[in-house]
Amino acid sequence: MNLAPVTLRRLIAAALAARRHAHAPYSRFRVGAALLTASGKIYTGVNVENASYGLTICAERIAVGKAVSNGHCRFRAIAIAAPSAQPTPCGACRQVLAEFGDCLVICVDSRRPRRVWLHQLSELLPHAFRL
């Protein structure tokens, strides 16, 4: 799936901006996500850590929850910004995203925002669980 360069830049900027609001007091690993719906709306999310770690919520799933709670269930792309050499969604987030179809996944190293990797979700999760 191709995105217009201006749309790609908007998504990356939204994910980078969202990172500032992450709640990551334990790992200090701040993640921001920006989800583009089929209708063109952008919903952001951040990781929210918890002292038990197992209750931590990923930025991607928060963005999905915000979009779905506003009536959007078709997604074109998601940008993920994290301080990592090549950030990608965790397995749980990949499966949650796959529930809504195959979208473009844009991965951005927040320390070097010009470093961007593009993947189709189906490449990152080739055998998603389906009912």
- 60 assigned to active site: yes
N-terminal to C-terminal alpha carbon distance within the chain: 25
DSSP 48: B
Given the residues 49, 60, 99, 123, select the one marked as catalytic: 60
Task: Compute the 3-state secondary structure of the chain and give helix, strand, coil in percent, each to the nearest 5.
Answer: 30, 25, 45
Burial (CB count within 10 angstroms: exposed 0-12, middle 13-18, buried 19+), residue 40: exposed
> How far, in Å, CA of 63 to CA of 108, rounded?
16
Alpha helices by DSSP H, the chain: 5-19, 59-69, 91-98, 121-124
| Residues with catalytic roles | 60
